[in-house]
Structure 1
Amino acid sequence: MIYWFSGTGNSRFVAEKLAELTNDTAQNIFMPYTEEHDGIVGLVFPVYVWMPPFFVSKFIDNFLQNIAPQTYKYVVMTCGDDVGKTLDLVKKHGFAPDGAYSLFMPNTYVCLPGFDVDGDKVRQDKLGKSLARISHIAQEVNDRRKTVEIHEGLLPRTKTYLLGKLFGSFVRDDKRFRAGKCCNSCGACTKACPAGNITIGNGQPQWGGNCTGCLACYHTCPKHAIDFARRTSGKGQYLFRRHAGETGKS
């Protein structure tokens, strides 16, 4: 079984492609948990500010700490650039993978100054190389390799344990979201939120305080009406499904 979490679709694509190449099943972590692992458990998720998303950590705490010792376990972390010490945090939550991999995918984080979605060339390059990387990981999994192939980047401990802790709570503070006047109450954000954290009230989206910072609402809004902390105005949007045709074209 491959469990996945995804906001804008990158990690879902990776998980479903891995399932296809390894003859496995991919399942959203918000679906009812199943213990039918058939000797292998994969976990695929995006890295947020050099840390696992809150709901991924919670899923590990609730379900993946007591996997049978003989089970082959692996993790794939999608990232725009690097993962810092995310793997260490995964292990601290009780999931110690035999194989660990990072995979560059288009950037989606736009909440801080200087952060934006990738330009066309960078996005196309990442997606173009993604299938080859996924195929490599799938072969490693099929061979039950015990391999660590992750890009921690520069100053990984500083990024995860200092900047990650500092900005993690900021990213999850959904009181900072606002919908502008161009919002037409279409409800696209409510459907996009993987945590079911958004409702429509008084003609505007309302965030319920259970946010993981995936920004699916921001990237999905067809009117580009959603803003975070007045820091995302004029920045780009990205959803995997809009660019799926660019995969494998490196």
Structure 2
Amino acid sequence: MANIIFYFTGTGNSLRIAKTVSNTITDCEIIPMGTNRGITINKEYDRIGFVYPVYFWGVPKIVRDFVSDMRMENNKGTYFYAIATNGGFAGNGLKLLNKLLLEKNIKLKYGKALKIFSNYIISFTMPGKFKKLLEKSDKILLPMLESIKNKKPNSIGKINKKMNQFYEKYVSTFQYEDKNYTVDGSCVGCGICKEVCPVHNIELIGGKPEFKHTCEQCMACIQYCPQRAINYKGKTEGKVRYTHPEISYKELAESNNIKYRNA
């Protein structure tokens, strides 16, 4: 039977992990959550996976909306799993996904948080030795791959209510945070920011990016801009940018535009 992984990423970390999982279990599609909404899965899959970063101790808004809108009645016996990347504390990052699935009478059979490092450039400075940190996370990923390959279950736990209150407070404001983005004179109108945005929140008007208020705060536009022309509220100027070294902007752009086809 076939497998499928749904992912969401801003800097390429989750896409790279999804590719690694796909290579482990084989016969596996990789589909972006950002540009696929309201899908119905009639085909029965052996495994259905989700890979995404933890945002404010929860899941990105687009992940929440994507899973809420999914229909997958023919996959009640499927092995559902998730890997949530995080830089600090995973919080409810897996528990919220499990709650969304339980509302569809589906249980998350396996879920693990994979600590990499915090790359939310608004609040953190990117580490200088990130390659070593990536190598370390790859080693931590290995037993997760084996568990997914062999369909091992684990316990996800219950939602922490206080953390969820914090999450709900911030997740509802994400889409409007792009009003605080600035574009300086070094912008050359290359359009890379538009191409890598996983939710198509950017248009080029007069050769300059304009934001449409469907932002996920994934930082793709800031991190991938070759001129470092895009910044946020005076908090990101001069900071080191980070994107996964194995995920080019071209690959990210192409992957984020793949459409799910229920064949």
Fold agreement, TM-score > 0.5: yes
Match of 2:12 among 9, 14, 21: 9
The Cα offsets for residues 173-214 of structure 1, whole Å up to 9 and x where unpaired, read as 211111012112111101110111101113321001111110
Contiguous gaps of at least 5 residues in structure 2: 249-263
What residue number does 2:145 align with?
138
Between stretches 209-218 and 124-133, larger displacement belongs to: 124-133
- Alignment partner of 1:177 is 2:185: no
**Contact 2:48/2:80 (<8 A) preserved:** yes
- In structure 2, the CA distance between the partners of 1:242 and 1:88, relative to structure 1 (3 Å rule), is closer
Q: Which secondary structure state, in structure 1, belongs to the residue aligned with residue 101 of structure 2?
A: coil
**Contact 1:42/1:75 (<8 A) preserved:** yes
What percentage of residue pairs aligned between the two structures are identical? 25
What residue number does 1:41 align with?
48
Q: Which secondary structure state, in structure 2, belongs to the residue aligned with residue 94 of structure 1?
A: helix
- In structure 2, the CA distance between the partners of 1:66 and 1:83, relative to structure 1 (3 Å rule), is farther
The Cα offsets for residues 71-107 of structure 1, whole Å up to 9 and x where unpaired, read as 1110100111221112222123235310001112232
Distance in 2 separating the partners of 1:137 and 1:177: 37
- Alignment partner of 1:116 is 2:119: no
**Contact 1:86/1:160 (<8 A) preserved:** no
| Root-mean-square deviation over aligned CA pairs | 2.5
Compute the TM-score of the two structures, normalised by the length of structure 2. Answer: 0.80
Distance in 2 separating the partners of 1:224 and 1:237: 8
Distance in 2 separating the partners of 1:232 and 1:170: 20
What residue number does 2:231 align with?
227
Q: Which secondary structure state, in structure 1, belongs to the residue aligned with residue 16 of structure 2?
A: helix
Distance in 2 separating the partners of 1:231 and 1:166: 21
Distance in 2 separating the partners of 1:232 and 1:106: 17
Match of 1:147 among 133, 151, 154: 154
**Contact 1:46/1:52 (<8 A) preserved:** yes
Q: Which secondary structure state, in structure 2, belongs to the residue aligned with residue 84 of structure 1?
A: coil
- Alignment partner of 1:106 is 2:114: no
Q: Displacement of 1:35 after TM fit?
A: 4.2
Distance in 1 separating the partners of 2:194 and 2:184: 16
Distance in 2 separating the partners of 1:235 and 1:148: 39
What residue number does 1:153 align with?
none
Distance in 2 separating the partners of 1:58 and 1:67: 20
**Contact 1:17/1:134 (<8 A) preserved:** no
Amino acid at match of 1:99: Y
Distance in 2 separating the partners of 1:99 and 1:13: 19
What residue number does 2:24 align with?
21
